[in-house]
Amino acid sequence: MPKYFLFMLIGALMVSAAVSLSAQNQIPTRQETLVVTGEPQSVPADEVDRAVSVVDTRETPELYRSFADYLFLDPSVDLKQRAPNGIQGDLTIRGATFDQTLVLVNGFRVNDAQSGHHNLDVPLPADALQRMEILQGAGSTLYGSDAMGGVVNFIVAPPAVSELRVGAAGGSFDTNEQHLSAGYAGKSLGEQFSAARDFSEGFEPDRDYRSLALASTTRFKSSLGDSSILLGYSDRPFGADQFYGPYNSWERTKAWFAALSQQLGQRTEFDLGYRRHTDDFILLRDDPGFYANNHETQSWESALRRSQPLWQSATFFYGAEGYRDSIDSNNLGRHTRNRVAGYADFDVRALRRFSFTAGVREEVYGDYRSEVSPGANAGVWLSSRLKLRASVNHAFCLPTYTDLYYSDPVDRGNPNLVPETAWNYEGGLDFHAFSRLTAAFTVFQRRERNGFDYVLPAGQAAASTSNPWQAENIDRLTFTGIEVALRAPVLRGQQLQLGYTAMQGSLDVPANLVTKYSGNYPSQSAVLSWQGTTAGKVTARSRMGVVRRQIEGTYMLWDAALMRPVGRISPYLQVANLTNTYYWDIAGVTMPGRSLTVGMDVAIAKKAKP
């Protein structure tokens, strides 16, 4: 059997299914899900002219343990985990590095100015989420720096009903979890408070972790318009054995987040956000005084946005944004960086058949240096079922403080790094047969200039004090690939999803050098997931994923979960890595084998929205 038979078979099945379905004549029922990521305004999911996937996190949350379980549903997302349950992982999309992926919470940036390793250190419990939106491809025209490979937007909102829920679980590796969610849904006031506590003794020495996350979301109406206040906090100490080298390390991160969104009439909005993050790292856990790093970053962002209808089918969007980030570190020093940006976007949607968006953004940073990011997206319905879309977008990424100033015995930053830039080209077909049955095919290419990476002389066995990994700009990188997706109902109350992503990277690196990150992308990734409810009211899900990395090889993971509500009580069972696969996402950082978690959620009180 050919080595890549499984990948090719899944891709062929999805393409053939989409082609056969397109021959039917039933008029589809449009999906009503509104998407806010990748477009200047919220639009129905099937009207988005970019490759965007939406995951509803409030539907059967008992079947998912963390953010990671939701991200694993998208084969274009590569989550290189260092620890289970979302404790720490590097998030990449379409072969980009973790620095080139932007993470948002309700549209506010939470990327860490110290290091992209902490971009997923989101100070929210999973219960606080309403949904996740994943934009594949460049997004700098709307979001600025870091949105080169894609964007993940965590959407948080007050509940649709007033309720109080509590839950607890335990399982393998002395795992112990508790969570609480209290929500009030009023006519003019909504409030959601969520808390989660999660700890484990670890599946091997120095892989224990503790996690605490709290969040509050408040929305209310005033004479000015809708107001939203979001507060978040997290505290995550964990054993970091082998995370950054052959050391029994220990690390603790904390994050604070606050965001205000205020409407100023129907067409204007003011946003203000603040994030503080601390990272305490000890190289040798049994000898804390030998080597330690302590970092604290603070980030501010503000924005004033306005929309102006031009005529019935056209809208002009424009606004100004400001950013300030700083770091105080015993290793990286003290630094501050200010940026301002202005953008304009023109959006036309006509006859529910044509759509076109064109925009440009200029971001000024440092000594009046700037990056201009234009972009354009277009879509046309070829029939009531088939939509053709295309886009071209520019993106850029500023170096983190680690890229610029970090130093340890085997790694060196480079204060002379220049921003990464890229052009992203994309074309695709979306097929909608009827409600809940969709298929999509996308072809993409990203052409990078001056990409960041750490390089080492070719032939050198390992980094050393005399020859460390050195941060450099790489002249040219090109990633070309395809994405195929199929979502279909198989039986009443059951849904099947198939996804396949394949890409090939071309790195213009001198023959005498090797790179640390750019070459280890997933060249092929396939996901088969199923979720449904049986006649016995048992709701279950299953996910099988196969990944082939350029350097780390190929492995398959199978996760499953089930739950059955009994009145207000919902007991559940979750099994991770059913096949007990030995694997790692990052060389040398082994991940757990098969694990079992048993838990129960209780809805103490529930009341419909008045």
- CATH classification at residue 410: 2.40.170.20
Structural tokens at position 288: 């804390």
Burial string for 170-197 (b: 16+ CB within 10 Å, else e) reads ebbbebebebbbbbbbeeeebbbbbbbb
DSSP assignment letter at 509: -
For residue 609, pLDDT beyond 80: no
Q: Which sign, positive or negative, has the C-alpha torsion 101, 105, 110, 116?
A: negative
Q: What pLDDT score was predicted for residue 608?
A: 59
Q: Give the strand pairing for 539-549 and 494-508.
A: unpaired
In this prediction, residue 161 has a pLDDT band, given cuts at 50, 70 and 90, of confident
Cβ–Cβ < 8 Å for 339, 331: no
Nearest Cα neighbor of 598 from 196, 176, 85 is 176
Q: Which sign, positive or negative, has the C-alpha torsion 109, 325, 114, 505?
A: positive
Q: What pLDDT score was predicted for residue 65?
A: 87
Whole-angstrom distance, CA of residue 155 vs CA of residue 255: 18
What would the mean pLDDT of 427-455 be, rounded to a whole number?
90
Task: Give CA torsion, residues 86, 88, 92, 97, to 10 deg.
Answer: 180
- Mean pLDDT estimate for the chain: 89
Question: Burial of 576 by CB count in 10 Å (0-12 exposed, 13-18 middle, 19+ buried)?
Answer: buried
Residues 6+ apart with CB under 8 A from 18: 431, 439, 441, 486
Whole-angstrom distance, CA of residue 279 vs CA of residue 401: 13
Q: What pLDDT score was predicted for residue 69?
A: 92
Whole-angstrom distance, CA of residue 516 vs CA of residue 509: 12
Q: What pLDDT score was predicted for residue 514?
A: 83
pLDDT, tens digit, 9 for 90 and up, residues 13-22 = 443 333 333 3
Whole-angstrom distance, CA of residue 454 vs CA of residue 475: 13
Task: Give CA torsion, residues 412, 416, 420, 421, to 10 deg.
Answer: -160
Cβ–Cβ < 8 Å for 394, 422: yes
Cβ–Cβ < 8 Å for 60, 495: no
pLDDT, tens digit, 9 for 90 and up, residues 463-492 = 788 888 899 998 889 999 999 999 998 887
What would the mean pLDDT of 510-517 be, rounded to a whole number?
80
Structural tokens at position 292: 């330690």
Listed in sequence order, the DSSP H helices in 426-581 are: none
Radius of gyration of the chain measured on its C-alpha atoms = 23
Cβ–Cβ < 8 Å for 151, 424: no
For residue 7, pLDDT beyond 70: no
Q: What pLDDT score was predicted for residue 16?
A: 38
Instruction: Classify 11 as helix, strand or coil.
Output: helix
Residue the block writes with tokens 């004479």: 223
Q: What pLDDT score was predicted for residue 518?
A: 79
Cβ–Cβ < 8 Å for 479, 505: yes
> CA triplet 543, 546, 547: central angle to 5 degrees?
130
Instruction: Classify 574 as helix, strand or coil.
Output: strand
> CA triplet 489, 55, 22: central angle to 5 degrees?
40
DSSP assignment letter at 591: -
**One-character DSSP codes across 215-232:** EEEEEEE-SS-EEEEEEE
In this prediction, residue 32 has a pLDDT band, given cuts at 50, 70 and 90, of low
In this prediction, residue 354 has a pLDDT band, given cuts at 50, 70 and 90, of very high
Residues 6+ apart with CB under 8 A from 125: 179, 181, 194, 195, 196, 213, 214, 215
In this prediction, residue 38 has a pLDDT band, given cuts at 50, 70 and 90, of confident
Q: What pLDDT score was predicted for residue 606?
A: 67
What would the mean pLDDT of 337-342 be, rounded to a whole number?
96
pLDDT, tens digit, 9 for 90 and up, residues 525-555 = 999 999 998 877 899 999 999 999 877 779 9
DSSP assignment letter at 592: -
Whole-angstrom distance, CA of residue 76 vs CA of residue 396: 20
* Model pTM score: 0.91
Q: Give the strand pairing for 584-586 and 589-590.
A: antiparallel
Range of the domain at 394: 5-607
pLDDT, tens digit, 9 for 90 and up, residues 362-377 = 999 977 789 999 999 9
Domain count, the chain: 1
Instruction: Classify 313 as helix, strand or coil.
Output: coil
- Can you name the residues that pair with 361 across neighbouring β-strands? 343, 373
- Could you report how far apart the first and last alpha carbons of the chain are, in Å? 60
Q: Which helix (H) or strand (E) holds 69?
A: helix 67-71
Higher pLDDT, 450 or 606: 450
Whole-angstrom distance, CA of residue 502 vs CA of residue 489: 25
In this prediction, residue 582 has a pLDDT band, given cuts at 50, 70 and 90, of very high
Structural tokens at position 213: 């996350």
Cβ–Cβ < 8 Å for 160, 185: yes
